[in-house]
A and B are shown apart, each in its own frame.
Chain A
Amino acid sequence: MEKETSISKNIIRDFNKKAEEIRSDYSLNLQLVEIFGSRWSYVAGYIDKSEVNLPPAKLKLTDKMGILVYGDIRDPLIMAKIERELLGLAR
């Protein structure tokens, strides 16, 4: 039995594919979340079970869907590119 999420299985599948590309290209790890007010609820993607991470960058794709980006997020050009690519998921 699965918990309900407003994010479709297709979006999750596309997210997983995109996350793999971004991990390979930029060594950044992504997590897909569903947004409920201040709550960002885990849906799919990266979980580092071994150690503590620096705080992720939060990208709000829609009112209901967001992405957490883990890794070296200091390059604004790369981050902007990633955001553009991920916005496609919400369309």
Chain B
Amino acid sequence: MEIDNTNTATWIKNRIKQDEIDKYLKDGEDFINDELIEAKIKANTKPDRKIVESIINKSLAINTLSLDETAYLLNVDDPELLSLMQEAALKIKKKVYNNRIVTFAPLYLSNICVNNCQYCGFRYSNQEADRRILTQGEVRQEAEVLAGEIGHKRLIVVYGEHPATDYEYIAETLKTIYSVKVPTKHGFGQIRRANVNAAPMPIEALKHLHKVGIGTYQVFQETYHHKTYETVHPKNTIKGNYKWRLYCMHRAMEAGVDDVGLGVLFGLADWKFEVMALIAHAHELENVFGIGPHTISFPRLEPAENTPFTKNSKYMVNNDDFLKLITVIRLAVPYTGMIITARESREMRTKSLKLGITQTDASSKIGIGAYADHANDQQGNKQQFYLGDTRSLDEVIGEFADLGYITSFCTAGYRCGRTGKCIMDLLKTGAEGKYCKLNAVLTYREWLDDFASEKTKESGEKVIEKEIEEVKNTMPKVYNQFMEYYKRIKDGERDLYF
């Protein structure tokens, strides 16, 4: 698609609506208090076992932790206490989301961007990047490969910030993606939930996106540390405005988009600070709207083509600290979905599963147009960064099955009212986990029949048998209906859900 830059400067100038920041401020200040967060991290050192246990119990009862409690856990170094925290993290995940892991694929539709973030391969000053915006026809081709050849049903669709990929383009691409329906071995494949990772937008634009049925709206603050934010995001860019980004989820909620995803790019500032700020953001949304984040993501800075910053940051997070921060986030916001991506190595992804991860991607390609190109190698000049795990969906699902996890392609909740406040209530009481189990089995059946290799199918059948037995024993009220759906899916019907 050709890029017209004629009106870009005007678009940038008019993008930020100051009144859509100011209305949320308290006494002119945003809700991230750097000094307070740093003080709490310093104050809550030398953790006591009894206090750690009582904090864990609060998490196990699916209550959000305070900043002091979060700081306390962040400072735990005793291996025995860490082990207690890790066990609790997995228990919480099972209580809230059951035994399932949701899988999705990233779909990058553009890499032109008006921003110039030091750590990003898509920054406008990177002359090595091969710029592209997919046409609607190309978007369709990508979705057809994802839904028809690989078997994905859920996407995170990613856009650079540019007038050519503003909300009108995003809305059209979502309509295109949702319209795809591809015949498969025994049924048909389609994308049932398209989540969006895009730049912060004004309320009117978000209302427009809400109308076309976006899934989760995901915007990462990258770093919550004010000074670091200023350093890595040049002031004369849209992204240079910290508060515009910080309050994008407030605007989303006001626009009616009540499934929002938060995240930090770990490696830009001190990781303990970032975890505390993430939790403060969750508190803010809970307090103001009564609805916390639907998901939290925690990507680590990865090498990117012609982007030296990604190799030189002094805040890179080592593997042990990374696993600890996952554990603490799981305990601090027990109801939230937690996403680990193929940025991470196979080993780290497998380890993180035991700490309460709920979603991950597979068969991932992050080059623009890479699925339809069937590109096997990573292409640095078309990617925002390099991936750490490029295994196929079949391989990942096979591994999960061998570890006893069921992969879920469930996208039921948002199609039957389990959104916003409703899903928050269900997550906090553990009721949603039961729906997760039922829908995991039904969608797993679909995928095994349509896409699995013989080897994966064999492992998958054992998992499904065990899950059905659990449904029989723990959910007798719905078991007959569930089995009726299961049999109909085996016979080729698709998209039956609870």
Tell me the total A-B contact number using a CB cutoff of 8 A.
Answer: 99
- CB of A8 closer than 8 Å to a CB of B: no
Is the CB–CB distance between B212 and A37 below 8 Å?
A: yes
Report how far A47 CA is from B420 CA in the complex, Å. Answer: 12
**Partner pick for A49 among B250, B414, B415, B426, CB 8 A cutoff:** B426
Per DSSP, are chain A's interface residues mostly helix, strand or loop, or mixed? loop
Expressed in whole angstroms, the minimum distance between the Cβ of B482 and any Cβ of chain A is: 9
Per DSSP, are chain B's interface residues mostly helix, strand or loop, or mixed? helix
Report how far A31 CA is from B419 CA in the complex, Å. Answer: 12
Closest to A35 in B: B213
Is the CB–CB distance between A68 and B417 below 8 Å?
A: yes
Expressed in whole angstroms, the minimum distance between the Cβ of A7 and any Cβ of chain B is: 10
Report how far A49 CA is from B426 CA in the complex, Å. Answer: 5
- CB of B112 closer than 8 Å to a CB of A: no
- CB of B425 closer than 8 Å to a CB of A: yes
What 0/1 readout, one digit per residue, does chain A (21-63) give for beta carbons within 8 Å of chain B? 0000000000101101111111000011111111110100000
Given contacts A38-B178, A39-B415, A40-B417, contact A47 B256 (CB under 8 A): no
- CB of B134 closer than 8 Å to a CB of A: no
Report how far A27 CA is from B417 CA in the complex, Å. Answer: 20
- CB of B1 closer than 8 Å to a CB of A: no
Report how far A2 CA is from B477 CA in the complex, Å. Answer: 36
- CB of B478 closer than 8 Å to a CB of A: yes
**Partner pick for B420 among A1, A42, A54, A56, CB 8 A cutoff:** A42
Is the CB–CB distance between B426 and A47 below 8 Å?
A: yes
- CB of B438 closer than 8 Å to a CB of A: yes
Given contacts A3-B258, A5-B256, contact A51 B434 (CB under 8 A): yes
Contacts of B250 in A (CB 8 A): 1
Report how far A54 CA is from B420 CA in the complex, Å. Answer: 20
Is the CB–CB distance between A56 and B416 below 8 Å?
A: yes
Closest to B414 in A: A39
Is the CB–CB distance between A39 and B419 below 8 Å?
A: yes
Interface residues of B in 198-213 (CB under 8 A from A): 207, 210-213
Q: Determine which residue in A1, A3, A5, A54 has the highest number of CB atoms from chain B within 10 A of its CB, and name it.
A: A3
Is the CB–CB distance between A3 and B418 below 8 Å?
A: no
- CB of A4 closer than 8 Å to a CB of B: yes
What 0/1 readout, one digit per residue, does chain B (390-429) give for beta carbons within 8 Å of chain A? 0000000000000000000000001111111111011011
CB-CB nearest 7 A-B residue pairs: A37-B213, A42-B422, A52-B434, A39-B213, A49-B429, A36-B213, A42-B417
A-B contact pairs, 25 of them (CB 8 A): A1-B288, A1-B289, A2-B289, A3-B253, A3-B256, A3-B291, A4-B254, A4-B255, A34-B256, A36-B212, A38-B192, A41-B419, A41-B420, A42-B422, A47-B422, A49-B425, A51-B434, A51-B477, A52-B434, A52-B435, A53-B498, A54-B477, A55-B497, A56-B417, A58-B416
